Chains A and B, each alone.
Chain A
Amino acid sequence: MKVIEMKNVDKIYGTVQALKSLNLEVEKGEIMGFIGPNGAGKTTATRILLGLLQSDSGESKVFGLDAFENAFEIHKKVAYVPGDVTLWPNLTGGEFIDLLGSLRGGLNRDKKEYLIKLFDFDPTKRCRTYSKGNRQKVALIAALASEAELYILDEPTSGLDPLMEMNFQKCIREAKEEGKTVLLSSHILAEVEKLCDRVSIIRHGEIVETGSIDELRHLTRLSLEVIVEKDADKFSHPRIHDFNIVDNKLHFQVEGKDLNEVLSELNKYKIVSLISKPPTLEELFMHHYGDDLSA
């Protein structure tokens, strides 16, 4: 069953096209990573899913219901952490958590206490005095303590220290064990890599790639370091990239689908040793956004 389904969604702000026929699907029980550079449209997409914004065209469904028309029914089963957490300065953190919980239709008290301990959070302070990381904790605890079925988290760990980030990951894994669905938008690739079953990469408002992390790796280049016995300088192949030679040691990159062909060509030069490194998500990211970065 698909919990989230966005089909050909467009969103235009004045002259800026924030989303261009965006497609996104998330299955029940899945943790979906949603990554992309600044301004790619992650926040816009999540706000459309929550019915805060209306798309200009296309279809956005959550639990099979229209995200805008049925926002009220949907929200009972959704917990959200906004990208910019703003709180009412005069409420305490504890009051805020209770308020959101009850507006959502219920809050698990034990879970609230557990999360407050886990995140080492002081709920008695006024929201205006919280630091960035603590404001983030308020929103996270409010979301995670609810009995939601779907968590929509927009860069939930920004401002958290590494220890708290680990605790956050622990909570998400627990949620997955309980069969909950998570849409996690993030810049932090290591986090997505650790947590997510599948990843969608968004760029300029379009999904450029979707798949499991392994699948996405398959699409990208491997980094090879090969030592051959003879005539290393004569080796060349149209499918290899960033090629260079030091003595008999060859360095190059090759895309997964060309690996077989390149290796059989290399075999003619007698391979002595071969080291291959899988790309990190970082490299995968660079592969897709390389022209953005160099531009």
Chain B
Amino acid sequence: MHRFKGTFLLVKSNLRRDGLRLAIWLGGLTILSLALMSAYATMMDEEALKEIIIMRASNPAIRMLDSPSPGLSLGGFYTARSSVLMTILIIAMTIQTMNKHTRENEETGVSDLVSSTMVGRYAPLTAAIIVTLLANIFMIFATTFVLYAYDLDLLYSFYTGVSFSLMGIFMIGVMAIAVQISQTTSGASKIGWLTTLFFFTISALGNLLGDFNPETFKVASHNITFLSPFGWYQQMAVFHENNMYLIVPFLVSFVILSCIGYKLINKRDVGHGLIPDKSGRKDAHKNLLSPLGLWRNLGRKTFILWLIIIGAFGLLFGYVSDEFEEGLAEIEGLEYIFGDISSTDYFLAMIISIVVICLLFFYINSLLRLRREEVDGTIENILASGVTRSKLMAMKILDATFDLFVLIILLVVTIYIGAIGQAEVSFLTMLEAGVSNAFAIMTVGALVVFAIGLIPKLASAFAYLMMLIAIGLGPVFGPMFNIDEWFYNLSPFSHVRTPLEDFVILPYLIMSVIIIIAVTIGFNYYKKRNLELN
């Protein structure tokens, strides 16, 4: 038990140092859920409720962003309408809190008295888990309180709170691993958000592929949703079916993930030289010996990880492709707009444009590596040797773009393979959807290159802002906001052809021009500016 020594002291000190931030989070979340609940409760009589459930649940695109409606009730509607927002905010709080009490403490070296006393090896992680767990448990009671205050059943209100906070608890497990793997706070957050995005995409597609029954007001999601913790909490169907046995996969994965986190603590010391690292090559392989070779080498692990994720996505969606026809059949009046394209192809093209959002994340991060190497100082080595800056930058763009196309082609091919024996799909339609989305991705990438050249210190902030605009105002999430049509034009994804539209070349020409101009300016400034070392 000596490994846990000092946990209690650390918990106390974490709560003392970080109490205010947590109080703001928890207070804010409670007020938000109260505001949402009060809006629904006051505005909706039963007729209005029926109408809005039918409106939202029968639209496959909106179904992706809502939790599936469990049936006709105010409590059920609350979950369906607001749980995605609430759970994502709970996840944000969890990611930040776990980071704050692990990585950030390590990076800044906590000055507290506590750290100078004897603290066991597992104590800091355990303390972080306990504090974050406490915050999530608080949210269970806060949600219960909010729903109960509006005269909903006490037990079901409690179940709702549990179902939301279980997402936070799952992410505690994910972050227990992320903070060990990543060297930096921002790296750990990235892992957390990527995991969230990955699982959200699965459950969103499960809901999209589901059926809505207007008699029972229930959305039955496709079974792939059970591959995602978002699916687990959504399928609890509180207020109706109350499948509380779905707590089990949450608890099991929380325990497994945390245990891996603890195991990695021991492993991490290896990297610090207690036990000698496995030795590597004495001389470099000849493929490494060029700027392109270096970029490929540095990005290899990440790339392989993405290959696995994208390949898994592709096979999964190919495998379920035969159900698309059914999914659409029930939506009245939709069939006539398809023309000569099958509904399966239409759906697959939509899926590709969703998965491509994840690839934007990959592409931008890969390009930003150029800037990260500058901050870390490693770039000084290369640029003081016989490599020009233009070449280094050009090779990075080539490297990232090559990976992007490999991933897109992999996605299309794995969907095709997965669909064998399931549904007739058109390889070309899918490939076209992938490549035209790649144009949009490269447009955002070109703006990032521009930023690395022109405003290096702000480059990564700028890149994430661009990404937010491109995704947020794009066709997948854009319709969530009721804003002027014009704003959607800001996202390059809004200009990518969907399978039902005629091909128009102008948007692609404009994107190409933007790419050329932004990259040219980026190159010119990158060549001429001071390196922002240290």
Q: Does the CB pair A104–B386 fall under 8 Å?
A: yes
B279 and A75 within 8 A (CB): no
Interface residues of B in 366-389 (CB under 8 A from A): 376-378, 380-388
**Inside 8 A of B534's CB, which chain A residues have their CB?**
84
Within 8 A of B (CB), among A102-124: 102-105, 122-124
Chain B residues with CB under 8 A of A92: 279-282
Chain A residue nearest in CB terms to B528: A54
| Cβ contact within 8 Å between A82 and B281 | no
Do A72 and B378 touch across chains, with their CB atoms under 8 A apart?
A: no
The answer to whether A124 and B384 touch across the interface, beta carbons within 8 angstroms, is no
A50: interface (CB < 8 Å): yes
B301 partner residues in chain A, CB cutoff 8 A:
90
Contact flags (1/0) for B276-310 with A, using CB distance below 8 Å? 11011111110011110010011001000000000
Question: Across the interface, do A126 and B530 meet the contact criterion of CB distance under 8 Å?
Answer: no
Beta-carbon nearest neighbor of B534 in chain A: A84
Question: Are B294 and A80 in touch, CB under 8 angstroms?
Answer: no
A30–B453 Cα distance when bound, in Å, is 38
B-contact bits for A82-101, CB 8 A (1 contact / 0 none): 10101110111011111110
A98 contacts B530, C-beta separation under 8 Å: no
| Cross-chain pair count, CB within 8 angstroms | 115
For residue B19, CB closer than 8 A to chain A, the reply is: no
Please tell me if A268 contacts chain B, counting CB pairs below 8 Å.
no
Could you tell me if B380 and A103 are in contact, using CB atoms closer than 8 angstroms? no
Report Cα–Cα, A99/B297, bound state, in Å. Answer: 11
User: In whole angstroms, how far apart are the Cα atoms of A104 and B289 in the complex?
Assistant: 10
Enumerate chain A residues within 8 angstroms of B272, measured Cβ to Cβ.
129
The yes or no answer to A128 lying at the interface (CB within 8 A) is yes
Q: Is A190 an interface residue (CB 8 A)?
A: no
> Within 8 Å of chain B (Cβ to Cβ): is A271?
no
Q: Is B533 positioned at the interface, with any CB of A under 8 Å from its CB?
A: yes
Is B273 interfacial (CB-CB < 8 Å)?
Answer: yes
Counting CB contacts under 8 A, is A53 at the interface?
A: yes
Known A-B contacts A52-B533, A86-B378, A99-B288; the reply to A94 vs B281 at CB < 8 A is yes
**Tally of chain A residues near chain B (CB < 8 A):** 40
Q: A residues within 8 A CB of B54?
A: none
Q: Does A170 contact B (CB under 8 A)?
A: no
| CB-contact partner of B384 in A80, A84, A102, A131, under 8 A | A80
B388 touching A86, Cβ below 8 Å: no
Compute how far the CA of A71 lies from the CA of B284 in the bound complex, rounded to whole angstroms.
26
Point out the residues of chain A lying under 8 angstroms from B298, CB to CB.
88, 90
- Contact between chains at B384 and A50 (CB < 8 Å): yes
Residue of A nearest to B277 (CB): A129
Cβ contact within 8 Å between A125 and B279? yes
- Asked if A76 is at the interface (CB within 8 A of a chain B CB), the reply is yes
Q: How far is the CA of A203 from the CA of B272 in the complex (A)?
A: 38
A50 to B380: give the CA distance in the assembly, Å. Answer: 10
**Complex contacts, B386 vs chain A, CB 8 Å:** 72, 75-76, 103-105
A window 37-94: CB within 8 A of B:
47, 50-54, 71-72, 75-76, 78, 80, 82, 84, 86-88, 90-92, 94
Interface centre among B289, B380, B385, by most A CB within 10 Å?
B385
Q: Which of A80, A84, A95 contacts B280 (CB 8 A)?
A: A95
For B271, list chain A residues within 8 Å (CB). Answer: 128-129
**B contact residues around A51 at 8 Å (CB):** 383
A48 to B283, CA, bound (A): 32
Closest Cβ of chain A to B283, distance in Å, is: 5
User: When the two chains form the complex, which single residue of B283, B382, B384 contacts A95, counting CB atoms closer than 8 Å?
Assistant: B283
Residue of A nearest to B183 (CB): A89
B279: chain A residues within 8 A (beta carbon): 92, 122, 124-125
Bound together, the chains give a CA A92 to CA B386 distance in angstroms of 21
Q: List 10 A-B contacts (CB under 8 A).
A: A52-B533, A78-B384, A86-B378, A87-B381, A90-B298, A97-B284, A103-B382, A122-B279, A123-B282, A128-B271
Having A52-B531, A103-B387, A124-B282, one finds 11 other A-B pairs with CB under 8 Å, namely A52-B530, A80-B385, A90-B301, A92-B279, A100-B385, A103-B289, A103-B290, A104-B385, A122-B279, A131-B273, A139-B381
Binding site for B on A (CB under 8 A): 47, 50-54, 71-72, 75-76, 78, 80, 82, 84, 86-88, 90-92, 94-100, 102-105, 122-126, 128-129, 131, 139
- Report, nearest first, the 5 A-B pairs whose CB atoms are least far apart: A98-B284, A124-B279, A102-B289, A92-B280, A86-B377
